[in-house]
Structure 1
Amino acid sequence: MQTVKSRIVMQLKKTGWLTPVALLTGCKLSPAIPVIGAYYPCWLFCIIAGVILTLITRRVILRKYKMPAFAGVIYTALFALYSMLFWLVFF
């Protein structure tokens, strides 16, 4: 039983240097898009795209159905989904 624990400890010691390396990968400049000479953060464009796509989806939903139950929860979830997908696909 002792050899199994020592193998695990040795493996953790060998790969222990990977933790700081993985944590330092996010240290770079933030993504920004130049628009008419000014730099805007990319998350701002993701929020705008999320709002626009949510409004389009709302219009489609209201054409086919009446007002859905829990509309606030549904539209908030759609906004978050669209914003995060936009970030994932384009950035």
Structure 2
Amino acid sequence: MQSALSGVAATLSRLRAQGLCARVAVRKRVPFGPVMNGRAAWLEERGLILPGQRYEELVVIRAEHLPVPATTSGGPDPAVAVAARPKDDLV
């Protein structure tokens, strides 16, 4: 689980670059807890949240290793591996 403020697209890209099939499984908007409330002014100053915003979206990222069919040479077929990845949203 991670905050959407911490770069969901980058996390998905890194997981996929390691050969995992990665997607956002669950999203939920929640009020800031004590830590985020303490950082709200700093986040506002940097334009990471809207003025007065006191909620964030949390996401659960699911990543799994999918078996890749072998080519006739015995190695994985890269075209099949790429096609097997879901085309879900990046954010």
Q: Which TM-score bucket, shorter chain as reference?
A: under 0.3
Question: Which has the larger helix fraction?
Answer: 1
Question: Which has the larger strand fraction?
Answer: 2
How high is the TM-score relative to the length of structure 1?
0.23
Relative CO higher for 1 or 2, CA cutoff 8 Å, sep ≥ 6?
Answer: 2
How high is the TM-score relative to the length of structure 2?
0.23
